[in-house]
C-alpha cells in the first residue's frame, strides 16, 4: 500500500529531538561483522528499511541476525557462513550492500556479488572497487550481472583512488584487513563514517591507522586474530542536518541531542551565514534557532569535510524562501536536483543549468502534491511542506523510510502537523516505533 504524508504547514518547530545512529555507517559495520567467526553486537542501530535489507543480505549468507528494537542493537552470529553469493534480488534494492564484496574477500577469499545497478541521483561506478581488489591479488570476472572475485591470497599494496570514493575506500579497507603485509589507500575518502568503520575494525582486532585523512594504512592481521566485540555507531550527521534545517526553516528553536557538531562544521557555518543561531549546549547537544527570514548563500557540494551532497536538497529548500539569490553547484552527482520540479510546484523560483541551480527567494511556498524521488529529495520536500502555506501531500514515502527513523513521529514531537496515511486507510497509522523485528531469517 502506497503511503503518503499529509502536512499542514506554517507551524513553528520547538522542543527537543534525539538523532539516531548513522545509516551510512551502520550498514558498513553490519557488513564488517562477517569478518569475525563469532558473535558481534552493534548498538545505536536505527530502524530503517536499508538496515532490513543489509540484515537480509547477511542472513542469506548464513549469518544469524537478531534486531533488538528496544535497545536498538543488532547481534550478528557469523560463525557458520553457508554462502559467498550476495544475490541480485537483495543487492539491487540498496547500493550500499555492494560493500559485502570486500568483507567476503577478507573472510574467505571468494565472493560472488551482484552489480548494484543504477541510482536515481546519478551514476556511481564500481571501477575503483574492482581495480583495487585486483591490485590486492584478486582475480575478477564480471558475468551475468555478477562480480566473481577469488584469490588464493591477498597481498597488501599501495592503491591510489582517482577520486575519494567512500564505497571504494570502505570495500578496500575491508578486503585489506586480513591481507598479507600493509596496504596504503591514497586519496581515500575522509568521511566520519570511514573513521567509524576503521574504529570498529580495530575494535575486533584489525590494525588500521590514518582513517579520516587522505591516506589510510591497513596492516594485515591473521583471520583467527579477529574477535567478537560490542560497538556503538556514531550519530547520523545527515539526520541531524535535516532536523536543523526543519527548525531553522520554520523559524523555530529546538534542542538537538546525540549529534557530533564537528561532523557538520561546513553545514553549520553556512546556516549561521544564512542567519541561524547554533549554540553548543553539551558536547553532543546543540540548540538551533532562527528568528527572522534567512539570507541566501552560495555553496558547492564537495567530499567531506566540504558541504555534504546529502544535505544539498535540504539546503535548497531553505533558499527558496530566503532573501536574495543563492547558487548551488552540485559537483558530485550529475542528477541530484530531482527535487527541483516539485519545489517549483510549490512556488519556488529555481533556474537549473546542468549542475548549477540558481534560487531566487520567494515570499512564501504553497502546499501541493509532490513526490519523493529519492531519500534526500523526499526529506527536502517534507521540510518544504512544513514551511509552506496550506496542505502538502508527499508521496512515495518508501524512499524516506530508507534513511529516517520515525520521521513523522519526531517532527510531530516538535510541533509539526504531519500524519502518515494511505488512500484506503486515511487515518494516521501507528508509529513504527512499536515494531520489533525479532530474528531475521
Which residues are known catalytic residues?
A: 119
Any idea which residue has 536536483 for its cell? 337
Q: How far apart are CA 434 and CA 428, in angstroms?
A: 14
165 within 8 A of 205, measured Cβ to Cβ: no
Tell me the three cell numbers of residue 39: 558473535
Tell me the three cell numbers of residue 123: 551514476
249 membership: H or E segment, kind and range: helix 237-249
387 within 8 A of 397, measured Cβ to Cβ: no
Residue 401 to residues 4, 5, 112, 212, 418, Cα–Cα distance (Å):
11, 12, 28, 29, 15
148 within 8 A of 142, measured Cβ to Cβ: yes
Q: How far apart are CA 231 and CA 73, in angstroms?
A: 10
Of 94, 90, 92, 87, the closest CA to residue 112 belongs to 87
The stretches of 76-124 forming alpha helices (DSSP H) are: 88-91, 100-108
3-state secondary structure of 70: coil
Phi, psi dihedrals of residue 147, rounded to the nearest 5°: -95, 120
Residue 242 to residues 8, 321, 357, 379, Cα–Cα distance (Å):
18, 17, 20, 7
237 within 8 A of 244, measured Cβ to Cβ: no
197 membership: H or E segment, kind and range: helix 192-203
Q: How far apart are CA 5 and CA 24, in angstroms?
A: 24
Any idea which residue has 551475468 for its cell? 144
What's the order of all strands across the beta sheet hosting 139-143? 85-86, 110-114, 146-150, 139-143
Q: How many helices (H) and strands (E) does the chain have?
A: 14, 25
Amino acid at each position: 500500500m502506497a503511503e503518503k504524508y499529509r502536512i499542514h504547514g506554517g507551524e513553528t518547530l520547538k522542543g527537543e529531538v534525539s538523532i539516531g545512529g548513522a545509516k551510512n555507517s551502520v550498514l558498513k559495520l553490519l557488513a564488517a561483522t562477517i569478518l569475525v567467526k563469532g558473535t558481534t553486537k552493534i548498538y545505536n542501530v536505527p530502524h530503517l528499511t536499508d538496515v532490513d535489507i543489509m540484515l537480509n543480505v547477511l542472513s542469506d549468507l548464513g549469518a544469524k541476525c537478531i534486531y533488538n528494537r528496544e535497545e536498538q542493537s543488532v547481534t550478528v552470529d557469523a560463525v557458520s557462513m553457508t554462502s559467498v553469493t550476495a544475490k541480485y534480488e537483495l543487492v539491487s534494492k540498496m547500493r550500499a550492500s555492494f560493500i559485502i564484496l570486500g568483507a567476503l574477500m577478507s573472510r574467505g577469499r571468494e565472493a560472488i556479488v551482484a552489480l548494484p545497478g543504477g541510482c536515481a541521483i546519478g551514476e556511481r561506478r564500481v571501477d575503483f572497487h574492482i581495480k583495487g581488489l585486483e591490485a590486492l591479488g584478486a582475480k575478477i570476472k564480471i558475468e551475468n550481472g555478477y562480480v566473481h572475485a577469488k584469490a588464493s591470497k591477498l597481498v597488501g599494496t599501495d592503491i591510489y583512488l582517482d577520486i575519494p570514493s567512500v564505497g571504494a575506500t570502505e570495500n578496500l579497507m575491508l578486503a585489506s584487513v586480513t591481507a598479507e603485509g600493509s596496504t596504503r589507500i591514497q586519496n581515500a575518502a575522509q568521511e566520519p563514517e570511514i573513521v567509524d568503520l576503521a574504529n570498529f575494525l580495530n575494535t575486533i582486532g584489525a590494525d588500521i591507522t590514518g582513517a579520516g585523512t587522505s591516506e589510510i594504512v591497513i596492516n594485515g592481521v591473521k583471520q583467527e586474530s579477529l574477535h567478537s566485540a560490542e560497538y556503538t555507531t556514531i550519530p547520523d550527521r545527515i539526520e541531524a542536518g535535516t532536523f536543523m534545517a526543519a527548525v531553522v526553516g520554520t523559524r523555530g528553536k529546538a534542542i538537538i541531542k546525540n549529534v557530533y557538531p564537528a561532523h557538520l562544521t561546513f553545514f553549520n557555518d553556512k546556516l549561521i551565514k544564512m542567519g541561524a543561531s547554533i549554540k553548543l549546549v553539551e558536547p553532543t547537544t546543540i540548540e538551533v534557532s532562527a528568528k527572522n527570514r534567512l539570507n541566501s548563500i552560495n555553496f558547492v557540494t564537495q567530499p567531506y569535510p566540504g558541504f555534504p551532497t546529502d544535505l544539498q536538497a535540504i539546503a535548497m529548500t531553505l533558499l527558496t524562501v530566503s532573501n536574495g539569490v543563492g547558487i548551488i553547484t552540485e559537483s558530485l552527482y550529475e542528477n541530484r536536483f530531482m527535487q527541483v520540479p516539485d519545489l517549483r510546484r510549490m512556488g519556488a523560483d529555481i533556474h537549473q543549468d546542468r549542475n548549477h541551480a540558481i534560487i531566487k527567494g520567494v515570499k512564501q511556498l504553497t502546499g501541493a502534491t509532490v513526490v519523493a524521488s529519492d531519500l534526500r529529495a523526499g526529506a527536502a520536500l517534507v521540510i518544504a511542506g512544513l514551511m509552506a502555506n496550506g496542505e502538502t501531500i508527499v508521496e512515495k514515502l518508501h524512499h524516506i523510510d530508507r534513511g529516517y527513523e520515525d520521521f513523522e513521529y519526531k517532527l510531530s514531537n516538535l510541533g509539526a502537523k504531519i500524519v502518515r496515511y494511505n488512500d484506503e486507510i486515511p487515518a494516521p497509522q501507528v508509529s513504527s516505533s512499536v515494531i520489533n523485528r525479532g530474528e531475521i531469517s
